[in-house]
A and B are shown apart, each in its own frame.
Chain A
């Protein structure tokens, strides 16, 4: 197994030749995350060599490899994303193209989502509600399995032992031929997670967790124009909720998710289409006291029918359209039986009038049984100044629809809430050569009617469309590849400057650091791979008045892998928090001290 860390910055990947074929194939395989129809956006792609190198949560992976910022309630606890200074429910998260943010709170817990067995993760920063729907304001992240119809038979076993009595196991088997593909994955993790709080006598009490995931992927070629893809996952997480520096905890949270997706792909010489039928089910049980049988719960079901159709008029012009119906239900301790139906449709025109220029114009409208869904529109373009240099720009309007908790939580839910709306624009510059890639971009976003839970009395809170936020920032990415004989060196470095202000208070939002940076240095020689990762997270305010903050921190990780036995066996050693830094992601919730992981991967 070759461990290679390769970042493709699609803004700088040229599609100079065979454009239409590329476009058609891209859209066929990657749907709306296809870089081709995201001309004016940065789409960063993590491939399976990066994703599968270790067993880790999606949040840890994206933090280490993609410079994304997460707020984590201590290691293994609930972890939420903030992309470009936006809120936890302002990043759309997709599983094989299906939106999976919780219908209850609008978020994904990046701590419990296991990323290991997926093939590809696309990270598209910037507004994307037209192609991706509600919530894609700061950006959109798609986690996907790839079905490839070639002869293949492979089984992989991965075992890891780590600090704090942590064990991880993964077994994955795939089989493929010209017309059939099957993959099965079973994985489980458990940990005492009782790391010491550096500088205190406390340890991370009540932080133990265990989880397992089962996944099946099937593909079938009906004929040269039709394929069926089936994806099914079940995940089960059981964790205690850890203490803080000042408060002990006896709480426990259980989560269960089931996802099922059938995708019928039909394509011809000048069109392709995809009909998706999906069922998503989520449930949580919260135990205030883990020894008690009393718990509160919430659950929801989503039934999704989604049809995408793309038509290619000629080499330079295509239309991409979609219509989607989502029927969902929810109930729980604080939710009566509620349901809603949303139907939404979009249209995108892609044109390449000049060899150097491509652009998209798009719009979307939806209707709902509970609220009004705004009409939104967008445009983006990419202009290639030279084969090495290009400029991209985009403008979009976006929305986030209220969640079940916002609308119906008892007590407090507000059924009169409006959709949040957001307008964003971005301009970027990219350079790429064989050895160097550079990209520099700036964006500005204005969000209105953001939903905030506000106190009516000390104990009674209610969500209202009250917050206006202005965000802007600069992002810089750099990649350098260097080869000396058979020694390979690469460096990936990123830096983001983020301002996100509450316009009423004229203060930076809490938990949005101004500065965030990441560097990954990789050395490869024969079967040896060394990967050093250094992260900087600037200080972040913890009060809305910006009077208190958590400190900035540097975090270093190192991974060393050696592949032996005809590339069948890989042994890896990782040291996380190499310099034993005391740091917090959320105030009063210390993160782990220096810790170790031994990883063995066997393929046959």
Chain B
């Protein structure tokens, strides 16, 4: 009797499952726990520790250390940046000299890109099945910096493109990749241009000192924010916002001791951080804004915008958990404050 009951339940279950799978009107199965929301990359303590990923779900749930929870291994030392591409997440781990490849929805590890050809990686972009990783090489050597070209099907490096010192942020624009040459531990003032067709470089574009972020607006204009040389270098220079239209450069100069950072774009507004304040500027403006957006003040370690919200991280004392503040850009009101891992360096949106 019991056996029969069990069998009939099993049969019914199978039938039900089968019919479900063939039911076109049902919502698609979830792709993973991390499908809806955003990530915070936390660098972690330098040398003696591991960076981590924090996930903030659309329902507001915050989960720390998700990569380790899923994979039971440390991500590595200094999680520098993360890029979502296709159904994968490419997590750049600077001081472990590797890029960890994981499923972007489940965070399950799929492999790594590492070896002698990945040295001090900084950021990742991809076109088709080809990835590009900016590398400082030996940080004390100014002439060994390069972009590693990666076959994303095998996660192996197929080519190295030598570039100037300190390649950092990259931007894919049609058949070229722009690479900010921030300067590594020193200071540089160029944007390298890589031709995707043959992995060669064109003449670099000279911009302001220390280009720290690069973005593109809806009309295809490239914007590069340059911090200028900081005062401790002994040869301080002003920051500048560079507008590149068809290789024509317009420079908006900041004050002599102003060093802006963290450029992002939301709608037709550019946002950046300067002297503990947040500024917005229209992509069609002819000069820099003079007044900050009130209510958003803070010396942020990283800052970005997305869908009408500003995401700003504070690394605190760099030796304990940091915080992320989310502001509504329509009202400039603080929406939420989230505790992150150690040294939150970027926010990445699903």
Which chain B positions have C-beta within 8 A of A292? 138, 140-141
Instruction: Enumerate 25 A-B pairs (CB-CB under 8 Å) in ascending A order.
Output: A244-B48, A245-B50, A245-B74, A246-B50, A246-B76, A246-B95, A246-B96, A247-B76, A247-B77, A247-B95, A247-B96, A288-B139, A289-B140, A292-B140, A294-B141, A411-B233, A412-B232, A455-B315, A458-B315, A543-B319, A544-B319, A586-B48, A588-B47, A588-B48, A588-B77
Please name all residues of chain A whose beta carbon is closer than 8 Å to the beta carbon of B301 when the two chains form the complex. Answer: 458
Is residue B318 contacting chain A, with contact meaning CB distance below 8 A?
Answer: yes
Contact check, B141 vs A289: say whether CB atoms are below 8 A apart: yes
CA distance in complex: A244, B76 (Å):
10
- Considering only residues 317-339 of chain B, those with a C-beta below 8 Å from chain A are 317-321
Contact B49 A454 (CB under 8 A): no
Interface residues of A (CB under 8 A from B): 73, 244-248, 288-289, 292, 294, 296, 410-412, 454-455, 457-458, 460, 510, 542-545, 547, 586-589
Residues of A within 8 A of B318 (CB): 455
B window 57-112: CB within 8 A of A: 74-78, 95-97
Known: A246-B49, A247-B78, A457-B230. 18 other contacts (CB 8 A): A244-B47, A246-B50, A247-B97, A288-B138, A289-B140, A292-B141, A455-B315, A458-B301, A458-B315, A543-B319, A543-B320, A543-B321, A544-B319, A544-B320, A545-B320, A545-B321, A588-B50, A589-B48
User: Contacts of B75 on A, CB cut-off 8 Å?
Assistant: 246
Contact present for A542 and B49 (CB under 8 Å): yes
Contact A544 B77 (CB under 8 A): no
- Bound: A587/B342 CA distance, A: 14
Contacts of B77 in A (CB 8 A): 244, 246-247, 588
Binary CB contact string for chain B from 27 to 51 against chain A (1 if under 8 A, 0 otherwise) = 0000000000000000001011110
Question: How many Å lie between the Cα of A457 and that of B275 in the bound state?
Answer: 10
Cβ-neighbour of B232 out of A244, A460, A586 (below 8 A): A460
B interface residues with partner A (beta carbon < 8 Å): 45, 47-50, 74-78, 95-97, 138-141, 230, 232-233, 299, 301, 315, 317-321, 342
Cβ contacts under 8 Å, A545 to chain B: 320-321
- Residues in B neighbouring A544, C-beta threshold 8 A: 317, 319-320
- Closest chain-A Cβ to B42's Cβ sits at a distance in Å of 12
CA distance A589 to B140 in the complex (A): 24
Complex CA gap A457/B233 in Å reads 14
Chain B residues positioned under 8 Å from A73 (CB to CB): 48
| Residue numbers in B under 8 Å from A246 (CB-CB) | 49-50, 74-77, 95-96
Determine chain A's interface SS by DSSP, over half rule: loop
Q: Which residue of B lies closest to A245 (CB)?
A: B74
Distance between A247 CB and nearest chain B CB, rounded to angstroms: 4
In the complex the two chains form, what is the Cα distance from A292 to B137 in whole Å?
12
Closest B residue to A507 by CB, please name it.
B320
In Å, the complex CA distance between A410 and B230 comes to 13
Query: Once the chains are docked, how many angstroms separate the CA of A410 from the CA of B235?
Result: 13
What distance in Å separates the Cβ of A21 from its nearest Cβ neighbour in chain B? 53
| B342/A543 in contact, CB under 8 A | yes
Q: Which residues of chain A have C-beta atoms less than 8 A from B76's C-beta?
A: 246-247
Residue on B nearest A541 in the bound complex, by CB: B320
| Given A247-B77, A247-B95, A454-B317: A288 touches B140 (CB 8 Å cut-off) | yes
With a CB–CB cut-off of 8 A, which chain B residues contact A288?
Answer: 138-140
Q: In the docked arrangement, what's the CA distance between A454 and B319, Å? A: 10
Q: Please give, as numbers and ranges, the residues of chain B lying within 8 Å of A247 by CB-CB distance.
A: 47, 76-78, 95-97
CB distance from B311 to the nearest CB of A (A): 16
Which B residues lie within 8 Å of A543 (CB)? 319-321, 342
Q: How far is the CB of A423 from chain B (nearest CB, A)?
A: 25
A587 to B49, CA, bound (A): 6
Cα(A541)–Cα(B247), bound, Å: 53
Q: Which residue of A lies closest to B299 (CB)?
A: A457
A510 vs B317: C-alpha distance in the bound complex, in angstroms? 13
A247 to B319, CA, bound (A): 18
Q: Knowing A543-B320, A545-B320 touch, does A248 contact B140 (C-beta < 8 A)?
A: no
Q: Which residues of chain B have C-beta atoms less than 8 A from A589's C-beta? A: 48
B residues near A294, Cβ cutoff 8 Å = 140-141
CB-CB under 8 A for A510 and B319, given A244-B77, A588-B49 = yes
A412 to B234 CA separation, bound complex (whole angstroms)? 11
Residues of A within 8 A of B141 (CB): 289, 292, 294
CA–CA, A525 and B198, complex, Å: 80
Central interface residue in B45, B48, B319, by most chain A CB within 10 Å:
B48
Rank and list the top 6 A-B pairs by shortest CB-CB distance, nearest first.
A411-B232, A545-B320, A247-B77, A246-B77, A288-B140, A543-B320
- Min CB distance B299 to A, Å, is 8
Alpha-carbon distance between A73 and B46 when the two chains are bound, in angstroms: 13
Name the residue on B nearest A550 (C-beta).
B48
Cross-chain contact B48 with A410 (CB below 8 angstroms): no
Tell me how far the C-beta of B119 lies from the nearest C-beta in chain A, rounded to whole angstroms. 9
**Complexed CA–CA distance, A485 and B75 (Å):** 61
Question: Is B138 touching A289 in the complex (CB atoms < 8 A)?
Answer: yes
Provide the bound-state CA to CA distance between A160 and B68, in Å. Answer: 43
Q: What is the bound-complex CA distance between A247 and B94, given in angstroms?
A: 9
Q: Which residues of B sit under 8 angstroms from A542, Cβ to Cβ?
A: 45, 48-49
Contact flag A587-B48 (CB < 8 Å), given A292-B138, A510-B319: yes
Please, how many angstroms separate the alpha-carbon atoms of A252 and B47 in the complex?
A: 15
Residue of A nearest to B46 (CB): A247
CB distance from A305 to the nearest CB of B (A): 36
CB contacts (< 8 Å) of B74 on chain A: these are 245-246
Which chain A residue shows the least CB distance to B138?
A: A289
Across the interface, name the chain B residue whose C-beta is closest to A455.
B318
Q: Report the bound CA distance from A244 to B140 in whole Å.
A: 20
A547 to B321, CA, bound (A): 9
- Neighbouring B residues of A588 by C-beta, 8 Å: 47-50, 77
Q: How far is the CA of A588 from the CA of B75 in the complex (A)?
A: 13
**Closest Cβ of chain B: how far from A412's Cβ, in Å?**
7
Q: Give the Cβ gap from B9 to chain A, nearest Cβ, in Å.
A: 44
Chain B nearest CB, measured from A506 CB (Å): 13
How distant is the Cα of A588 from the Cα of B45 in the complex, in angstroms?
10
| B38, chain A: closest CB distance, angstroms | 21
B146 CB to nearest chain A CB (Å): 15
Contact (Cβ within 8 A) B97 A248: yes
**Nearest Cβ on chain B to A418's Cβ, whole angstroms:** 21
CA distance A345 to B318 in the complex (A): 40
Bound form: Cα–Cα A294–B318 in Å: 29
Give the docked Cα–Cα distance between A543 and B45 (Å). 9
Complex Cα distance, B45 from A545, in Å, reads 13
Max count, chain B CB within 10 A of own CB: residue among A247, A248, A296, A458: A247
Q: Whole-angstrom distance from the CB of B165 to the nearest CB of chain A? A: 14
* Interchain CA distance A494-B342 in the complex, whole Å: 36
CA distance A457 to B212 in the complex (A): 14
Cα A460 to Cα B57 in complex, Å, equals 33
Q: Which residues on A sit within 8 Å (CB–CB) of B299?
A: 457
- Determine the chain A residues whose CB is within 8 A of the CB of B45 once the complex forms: 542, 587
| CB-CB nearest in chain B for A454 | B317
**Least CB separation from B139: chain A residue:** A288
